[in-house]
Structure 1
């Protein structure tokens, strides 16, 4: 299979997966927002934000470092087994640490302990996500497997929600159904890796564990930084303003992230492809096309934001429309910022610049968020997101221009 054909095949698979990730939640969101009530839905959104921290910790940036390692060593079965085994063991250890942290939070933070059972049930997602090992499929460019698996999670959750969830007392069941989907798919993914892809699990040496840990550390800080100025917003809103505010903010934020995530398939496919092909010409074509399509999506959502919020979430969520407009302004430069990240700077060896862009931005974001706590409001947090994403974009654009990565003669310098 040619490189371009493989790129198209994997992009198609990831696009289908992302469309399902985008469409199926829109089937369940209106139902959950109404059935669980604003406060119940806010608790669910808050719990998702809390668990997202632990998923980032357990992933430890291996979706980037592991993907690159697997891509480079794709024809070395022994090396692949070493990479997979080392990463899986590290992720398991991090999962145990994360569980202990969650238990401590439940014991000492009142706003978390109130719905402790929901958070513990949701933590099953972390275990399922750990077993999923997406980095293997991305590195080998076998995205059809991960597409089917992710689609299975979404379809399972969507169907069971309508069958079993009837009122706001079913909130723990919503968490359980969501978590079971991830657990089952994680187990299936593990079987595919071991039996079909034929990567063996071996007891990793201490040296391999240390090497994989060190290799992914910079990516981990990057992922934590991103989480601090994305997921932390809903978490902080829920912590200081209550479940209802978390529902208002989280609803707009979910739509915003869903719109931006439409370009994630291109991001995931381009990263390993550019890393080994260095095809800047194709990258520039896809970048321009994505920028134009992004502007169209942003304009449509911005104009019809009030209608979108009313149709999806119903009454009580009107304030979310204002937040969605703010987020859509951020989306104008967030999409090109994402594509300038790992698919370009990272793939061409400038990972430090990519990581620093989000680390510096997250530090500024968190400092401002803490300063603003006495006057905190959902609109203020949304404006802060807009500002932070702009900082990331400017930082990355500066280094793309500085290194001349989009110049036609860039590859001649290599």
Structure 2
């Protein structure tokens, strides 16, 4: 059986944690300052603007960060195919990102009640372009994230002094939205140099048919991610529509702490994904062993975070957000409970359902959970404010978890991943099929 856990995978986990986790961990350093300088109301306004741009980013990504990563990991010994995958993905992300951002900017400018969001959205749109040129999906497909992790970490670190220097009061909320995007763009441009030096990408090509094929291939992953956003980012918008920006500010404070806490368990699954994709058609037993380790690590770390948060949420909120956000402590306690379900169902979806050809079924599960969340969040947020929105989020995470387990059981996959000796189960299944 192929080696599952090695030095390269450990480096990849740590690199991916720095590459993706820095976007949550470093802002956590400035969070106490922003919470006190902007106040609950303007923290809520900032959260609304960031949530709007997040939907543009979701459409721009279109599942490419998952589907193209898998394809590049599978074809990384074929430079011609990698070149085709790279340029078709880049062009598709560029076209969809610019289109959706244009619509959002026009909507916030011409609709009077949204006009106050225009400058926040415009400033934070730099995140969209920074993500476009980061090429994390390419580096992840090659399991080479060390240099880009360092670059990203340095870029995120630069946001700390910029925040203290530029953001002085509520009128600087747009600057708080601009800084993350500027650091992402700088990091992305440096990353581009390393991509060129890898010499795995050929000259620029624009192939409409291939771009359309990329979009069609990734649509199931996109709809699954969009479904997840219907119980992640959209809860902020629902909360704003039925309560106030003050309540959104409380929710946003807890949500930022939650995302920072989830950096490590979430990135473990992402780091294992290219390894599992590479092994799946070469050594199925090794792929299963890799997935089991990934999910076990994620679950145990998530459980520790939940227990720690229940004990120390009040202290964490008082130190990082300030006394004004004291009501965010209970919101945080509830929100982190979703880790127990989400950090099992998310890696299971990537590493089990998608390789087994169940991307469409995974999409249905995510969409169903997202659609159920909409009325539930509306009702709970109306009745209980930020705590209600967080409770709805946890319910949606549980529904996704239950759906993923049901799919695995229905298609006879679950027994392979729960067996003590997956190789023996695979041999039995292959003998029955023969």
TM-score over 0.5 for the alignment?
yes
**Counterpart contact for 1:357–1:392, Cα < 8 Å:** yes
The Cα shift of 1:399 comes to 2.4
**Counterpart contact for 1:194–1:200, Cα < 8 Å:** no
Select the residue among 170, 173, 190 that pairs with 1:168: 170
Counterpart position of 2:88: 86
After superposition, residues 11-410 of structure 1 pair within 5 angstroms as 11-17=13-19, 20-277=22-279, 278=284, 279=286, 280-370=288-378, 375=383, 377-402=385-410, 403=413, 404-406=415-417, 407=419, 408=422, 409-410=424-425
What is the TM-score normalised by the length of structure 1?
0.93
Counterpart position of 2:426: 411
After TM superposition, what 4+ stretches of structure 1 lie above 6 angstroms from structure 2?
none
Q: Unpaired segments of 5 or more residues in structure 2?
A: none
The Cα shift of 1:389 comes to 0.8
Q: Unpaired segments of 5 or more residues in structure 1?
A: none
Q: 1:110 to 1:318 in 2, by over 3 A?
A: farther
CA distance in 1, matches of 2:212, 2:304: 46
CA distance in 2, matches of 1:78, 1:365: 43
CA distance in 2, matches of 1:292, 1:268: 16
Q: 1:374 to 1:243 in 2, by over 3 A?
A: closer
Aligned residues: 414
CA distance in 1, matches of 2:338, 2:137: 29
CA distance in 2, matches of 1:203, 1:286: 37
Q: Deviation per CA, 1:164-217: give whole Å up to 9, x if none.
A: 222222222222222211222222233322333441342232221121111111
CA distance in 2, matches of 1:374, 1:163: 38
Q: Deviation per CA, 1:107-165: give whole Å up to 9, x if none.
A: 35444212311211111211111111211011111111331232133112112112222
The Cα shift of 1:22 comes to 4.5
What is the alpha-carbon root mean square deviation over aligned residues? Answer: 2.2
CA distance in 2, matches of 1:322, 1:68: 39
Q: Could you say what secondary structure the match of 1:199 adopts?
A: coil
**Greater Cα offset, 249-258 or 282-291:** 282-291
What is the TM-score normalised by the length of structure 2?
0.89
**Counterpart contact for 1:80–1:199, Cα < 8 Å:** yes
